Amino acid sequence: MMIPALGFGTYRLTGNVAQQSVAAALRAGYRHIDTAQIYGNEREVGRAIAASGVPRDELFVTTKVWVDHYEPDALLLSLEESLDRLQLDSVDLVLIHWPAPDNPVPMDAYLPALLEARGQCMTQHVGVSNFSIADLKQALKLVGEGSLLTNQVEVHPYLQNRALVDFCRAEGIRVTAYLPLAYGKVNQDPVLQAIAARHGVSAAQVSLAWLLQRGLLVIPSSTQATHIRDNLAAARVVLTDDDMAAIAALDRNERLIDPAELAPRQWD
């Protein structure tokens, strides 16, 4: 199936909270669930999916390979373990989680292994996360145009990543925006609040609608059933050109996740 534009993220959700939140998301109508090996919640995500009764062919499930597993044999083994935890025969998308430029395993070793995972039907699609334009150029030389479904990166009103988004669009790579609500900062923003008031929605819904109208995929996260439903409803919000311009003016290159040992040597 095609990747749904609005998915449910599970970053920082663990244990029973993760399982209950994913279950609530599936009940609300989400059909795109995003997890990762390092989140430590694949097992809970799998339990929620198994108990949901949602047919497998109606779900799009993403996981990410952690940096400790980039060596080719380890990468494939780690994905087998992820599938076991998720109780799935395959996932829809596997991402390399970080470029980790100082990792002893180079890109020309782990990206072919990712393609091998696809060849073994462990995943339908492959992609990357937190890759800069320079990283993507190197990756495309290795795997070829059309091989990467998405680059999952931090994007929100205060970090709009325009150059990277434009590059990905030109190369046919979808951008998946994580942290779309900037850890909840958008809820207190007067510009977003004013737009929200005009549309009768929340500032969070405005932020999500802005990303969706830019053509990005979005994976908000929440533990509250009301917020989970409201986030999904953001897909019905239609912003005006003036709204979009006002949000564009909020960009201040405020990056909230930037681990020195994992991030690109230079962000765009």
Active centre residues (catalytic): 39
> Helices 203-213 & 241-248, crossing angle to 10 degrees?
100
DSSP H helical ranges for the chain: 15-28, 42-52, 72-86, 107-119, 133-143, 162-170, 190-199, 203-213, 225-233, 241-248
In 10 A of CB 9, how many CB atoms?
27
DSSP-assigned beta bridge partners for residue 9:
34
155: tokens are 């994007």
List, in sequence order, every residue forming a beta bridge with 160; answer none if it has no partner.
none
CA neighbor of 67 nearest in space, from 154, 129, 146: 129
Q: At what angle do helices 190-199 and 241-248 cross, to 10 degrees?
A: 170
Pick from 11, 120, 130, 141: nearest CA to 67: 130
Please report, as a single letter, which amino acid is at residue 94: V
Q: What backbone torsions phi and psi does residue 83 show, to the nearest 5 degrees?
A: -60, -40
